[in-house]
């Protein structure tokens, strides 16, 4: 077969894969080159964020003028190559690989957590044999606890070694190994070691079959029962891209979502386990307002008007906000603060910084909040004692930061904009406005490197809770600080038009990978 003629492209390599012309940089392997043409080459051991091992032989393809089939993961593109992924010769070779992998693999798909998202299932269905020629008893090994959140089921393991390479190269914590050889080989732990590394949970995501399981997610849901939404991890200022997975409007799992500019394919264990608070039941579900010295349910308009009246009649106003609120909400809070002359303070939670050594600039950051950078851009400052200057006649606006409020002086009135109404605030509250948490609304965060990233609504809000940007926008309108649209994308457009740091940005230009603040781009140019 003669390759189609394509125009020369200096500095690039032109080849043909399955009849499609592909132009990629030199050094690209055939698997990645095929992806650009919409062709998936089956593979198990290869992963774009791990070193190439070439051990599974599942990615064998036929390259014209090569003497034999070649592994696509370990073969770089060459000028004029003609690659056949689905030729009879290549498919027959992959069928043989699948047959060997399935010899001792148990037939437990109905009870396996990986069912529905298992690459062994997918490729066997697409290219495997229709029946088995293996009549002997299958090998059996008991499940093993690897420590941390990980269980190992050796019967399902295909020895792709992704987990071993991740712990060796990315985590720099060589806990795992390939023990024994030949048909007795299995993934083993070094004596006295466990998978307790802060990033060890990634081995579960990396496993292409159901050999490595999460104890936390075990038997909780099947893949086809889950709804998924692209989001951003709220656990620290790194801003790792994640997927929120829900079942029956309950978040049951957080998994990393690829973004080469932020977290590659990984997420720390703190981030992936920090989801139960999203489903908490003690939520503020209805607006309330103070009448006759008691808090009673109120309509939205009544509660907003009462909050606005308290703010307008205050001696001084302080806005205490969580830096895990979205850019849109913090922007509108800053407009309120500017309109009434309030001081703007943010709460902070800090911990130890835990890097992933094998990936530059990827860490569980010390700032255990999602939008510290965004809050700082909108004028919110950190304070060790944010309530020290409060006195009778003042109003404190608590925007999803009630946990940081300990003691409030007598005579101080409080307006709550949040997901929870803490008992410590009850004597001082004049109005409480229920809002969504980040999983129940759309919005953006700005990570520690100034990258603005979108998160999408993953679940429905309880009862009458509304998106936080909409509630703050209604309060700003009631105070005379302006009129603001009810949709997150439109609020972002107003913010980009009026706040210099976000000039030229929109939800469309951000996409689902985000973009750096224009000022940072200009500074680095």
Q: Of 348, 356, 321, 252, give the one whose Cα is nearest residue 468.
A: 321
What's the per-residue H, E or C state across 347-395?
A: CCCECCCEECCCCCCCEECCECCCCHHHHHHCCCEECCCCCCCCCCCCE
Q: pTM for this one?
A: 0.92
Of 2 and 272, which is predicted with more confidence? 272
Helix (DSSP H) and strand (DSSP E) numbers for the chain: 13, 26
Calculate what percentage of the chain has a pLDDT beyond 70.
97
Buried b (16+ CB within 10 A) or exposed e, 234-257: bbbbbbbbbbbbbeeeebbbbbbb
Q: Is the dihedral of CA 194, 196, 199, 200 positive or negative?
A: positive
Cβ–Cβ under 8 Å, residues 336 and 397:
yes
Mean per-residue pLDDT, 433-447: 98
Cβ–Cβ under 8 Å, residues 264 and 171:
no
8-state DSSP, 2? P
What is the structure's pLDDT at 188? 95
Q: Write down the mean pLDDT value for the chain.
A: 93
Beta-carbon count within 10 A of 444 CB? 25
Q: Of 168, 434, 110, give the one whose Cα is nearest residue 289.
A: 434
Listed in sequence order, the residues at least 6 apart from 24 whose beta carbon sits closer than 8 Å to its beta carbon are 12, 13, 15, 32, 33, 36, 77
What is the structure's pLDDT at 183? 82
Q: Which of 103-107, 344-348, 399-403 has the lowest mean pLDDT?
A: 399-403
Mean per-residue pLDDT, 153-165: 96
Is the pLDDT score of 497 beyond 70?
yes
How far is the CA of 140 from the CAs of 164, 275, 289, 400, in angstroms? 22, 35, 64, 52
SS3 74: helix
> In the numeric block, which tokens belong to residue 370?
């999602």
Mean per-residue pLDDT, 101-108: 90
Task: Tell me whether strands 317-321 and 343-346 are parallel, antiparallel or unpaired.
Answer: parallel
**DSSP string of 302-331, one letter each residue:** HHHHHHHHHHHT-S-EEEEE-TTS-HHHHH
SS3 265: coil
What is the structure's pLDDT at 3? 52
Mean per-residue pLDDT, 205-209: 96
- Of the pLDDT bands very low, low, confident and very high (cuts 50, 70, 90), residue 525 is very low
In 41-158, where does DSSP find H-type helix?
A: 88-102, 119-127
- Of the pLDDT bands very low, low, confident and very high (cuts 50, 70, 90), residue 7 is low
Mean per-residue pLDDT, 467-494: 96
Indicate the angle between helix axes 327-340 and 488-498, nearest 10 degrees: 60
pLDDT in tens, 209-231: 999 999 999 999 999 999 999 99
What is the structure's pLDDT at 298? 95
Is the pLDDT score of 2 beyond 80?
no
Listed in sequence order, the residues at least 6 apart from 260 whose beta carbon sits closer than 8 Å to its beta carbon are none
Mean per-residue pLDDT, 143-157: 95
Is the pLDDT score of 5 beyond 70?
no
- Of the pLDDT bands very low, low, confident and very high (cuts 50, 70, 90), residue 401 is confident
Of 46 and 385, which is predicted with more confidence? 46
Report d(CA 308, CA 9) in Å as an integer.
63
What is the structure's pLDDT at 469? 97
- Sort 8 into a burial class: Cβ within 10 Å, 0-12 / 13-18 / 19+: exposed
pLDDT in tens, 167-191: 999 999 999 999 998 888 999 999 9
């Amino acid at each position: 077969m003669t390759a189609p003629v394509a125009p020369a492209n200096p500095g690039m390599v032109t080849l043909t894969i399955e009849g499609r012309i592909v132009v990629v940089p030199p050094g690209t392997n055939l698997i990645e080159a095929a992806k650009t043409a919409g062709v998936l080459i089956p593979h198990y051991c290869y992963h774009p964020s791990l070193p190439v091992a070439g051990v599974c032989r599942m990615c064998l393809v036929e390259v014209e003028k090569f003497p034999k089939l070649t592994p696509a993961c370990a073969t770089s593109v060459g000028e004029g190559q003609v690659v056949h992924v689905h030729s009879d010769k290549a498919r027959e070779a992959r069928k043989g690989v699948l047959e060997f992998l399935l010899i001792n693999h148990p037939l437990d798909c109905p009870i396996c957590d990986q069912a529905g998202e298992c690459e062994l299932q997918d490729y066997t269905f697409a290219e495997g044999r229709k029946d088995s020629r293996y009549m002997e008893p299958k090998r059996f090994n008991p499940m093993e606890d690897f420590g941390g959140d990980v269980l190992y089921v050796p019967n399902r393991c295909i020895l792709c070694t992704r987990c071993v390479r991740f712990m060796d190269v990315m985590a720099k914590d060589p806990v795992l190994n390939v023990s024994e050889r030949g048909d007795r080989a299995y993934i083993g732990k070094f004596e006295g070691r466990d998978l307790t590394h802060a990033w060890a949970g990634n081995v579960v995501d990396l496993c292409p079959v159901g050999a490595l399981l999460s104890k936390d997610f075990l038997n909780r849901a099947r893949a086809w029962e889950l709804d998924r939404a692209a989001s951003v991890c709220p656990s620290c200022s790194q801003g790792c891209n994640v997927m929120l997975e829900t079942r029956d409007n309950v978040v049951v799992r957080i998994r990393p979502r690829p973004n080469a500019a932020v977290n590659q394919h990984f997420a720390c264990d703190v981030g992936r386990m920090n989801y139960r608070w999203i489903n908490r039941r003690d939520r503020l579900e209805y607006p309330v307002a103070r009448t006759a010295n008691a808090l009673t349910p109120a309509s939205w308009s009544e509660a907003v008007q009462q909050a606005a009246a308290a703010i307008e009649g205050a001696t001084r106003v302080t806005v205490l906000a969580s830096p895990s609120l979205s850019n849109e909400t913090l922007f509108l809070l800053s407009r309120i603060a500017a309109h009434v002359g309030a001081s703007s303070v943010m709460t902070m939670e800090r911990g130890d910084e835990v890097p992933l050594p094998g990936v530059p600039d990827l860490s569980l950051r010390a700032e255990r909040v999602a939008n510290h950078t965004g809050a700082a851009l909108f004028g919110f400052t950190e304070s060790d004692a944010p309530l020290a200057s409060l006195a009778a006649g003042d109003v404190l606006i608590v925007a999803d930061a009630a946990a940081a409020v300990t003691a409030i002086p007598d005579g101080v009135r409080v307006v709550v904009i949040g997901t929870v109404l803490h008992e410590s605030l009850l004597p001082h509250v004049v109005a409480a406005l229920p809002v969504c948490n980040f999983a129940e609304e759309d919005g953006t965060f700005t990570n520690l490197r100034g990258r603005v990233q979108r998160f999408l609504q993953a679940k429905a809000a309880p009862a009458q809770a509304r998106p936080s940007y909409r509630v703050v926008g209604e309060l700003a309108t009631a105070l005379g600080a302006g009129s603001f649209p009810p949709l997150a994308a439109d609020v972002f457009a107003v913010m980009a038009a009026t706040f210099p740091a976000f000039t030229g940005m929109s939800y469309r230009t951000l996409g689902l990978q985000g973009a750096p603040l224009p000022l940072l781009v200009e500074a680095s140019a």
